[in-house]
Amino acid sequence: MSAIRLILLDIEGTTLPISFVKDVLFPYSDKVMPDLLREKASDPLVKVALADIEAANPGCDPVAQLHDWTVRDEKVAPLKSLQGLAWKTGFESGELKARLYPDVPSALRAWHKAGLRLAVYSSGSASAQRLLYGYSDAGDLTDLFEAFYDLDIGGKKIAESYREIAARAGVAPEEILFLSDVGAELDAALEAGLKVCQLVRAEDGTQPHAGVRQAIDLAGVSRQFELPVS
């Protein structure tokens, strides 16, 4: 069996509770979105996102469309990039602070200290990922990660996305351990040849997925895969 060289981590439901996203982050971006679209209308990111929204639903009201996608938790690129922009002010002002699962900072530090490479793969935009780990309740953890992959790589339920991440990292797929709460993401990573483990978080009510290893926290991942512990 190949040794693990890189650990690739999902965020929501894996390192951060789903309730933090649904009850804190989504209401925040929903609240500031109308002002943000008006005040940052000339920002290239906003222009691209608005064009993508128009292409997805011609003639729609962008604010209403974004709200609808948020309520349905759609993992669509224009929503994710605009949410990232909206949360920036909240994190930088101190109004938002990411509530990581308590087992996460110590495991990440132990893995990093032992020389394991760490990267994030989340539907949230790469800039939103940096904000979450930059303004977490355990301080700034961004230096622990070598890369932040988002939907620009491709969807998380598609095997090709994981092959692309392995190619960009210069690591064989079987040397990557992917951690996620979502069965379809784990299946796609398995299809690409990665090792996988499902985080079954009691707080999130995660349903165990057949055919994959499971752990209730990152310490449990360490035990199963014989990785360093803090």
Ligand X SMILES: CSCCC(=O)C(=O)COP(=O)(O)O
Is the separation of the CB atoms in 169 and 137 below 8 Å? no
Q: Tokens for 111, please give them.
A: 């893995």
Is residue 9 at the binding interface for ligand X, with CB under 6 A as the rule? no
Kindly state the smallest distance separating residue 178's Cβ from ligand X, in Å: 12
Q: Which is nearer to ligand X, 137 or 172 (CB)?
A: 137
Return d(Cα 48, Cα 206) in angstroms, integer. Answer: 35
Q: Which is nearer to ligand X, 164 or 228 (CB)?
A: 164
Pattern 167-186, Mg ion, x by CB under 5 A: --------------x-----
Q: Which is nearer to Mg ion, 12 or 103 (CB)?
A: 12
Kindly state the smallest distance separating residue 151's Cβ from ligand X, in Å: 9
Sheet with 147-149: strands ordered across: 147-149, 117-121, 6-9, 176-180, 195-199, 213-215
Is the separation of the CB atoms in 144 and 118 below 8 Å? yes
Alpha helices in 5-103, H assignment, sequence order: 18-20, 26-39, 44-56, 62-71, 77-93
Pattern 78-117, ligand X, x by CB under 6 A: -----x----------------------------------
Is the separation of the CB atoms in 186 and 198 below 8 Å? yes
Is residue 13 at the binding interface for Mg ion, with CB under 5 A as the rule? yes
Q: Which is nearer to ligand X, 107 or 128 (CB)?
A: 128
Return d(Cα 128, Cα 131) in angstroms, integer. Answer: 5
The continuous run of DSSP H or E covering 218 comes out as: helix 218-225
Is residue 13 at the binding interface for ligand X, with CB under 6 A as the rule? yes
Kindly state the smallest distance separating residue 99's Cβ from Mg ion, in Å: 15
Show contacts with ligand X in window 65-84 (CB under 6 A): 75, 83
- Out of 8, 21, 85, 186, the only residue in the binding site for ligand X (CB under 6 A) is 21
Q: Minimal CA–CA distance to 79: which of 36, 54, 40, 49?
A: 49
Query: Which residues form the interface with Mg ion (CB under 5 A)?
Result: 10, 12-13, 181
Query: Which residues form the interface with ligand X (CB under 6 A)?
Result: 10-13, 21, 25, 75, 83, 122-124, 128-129, 132, 156
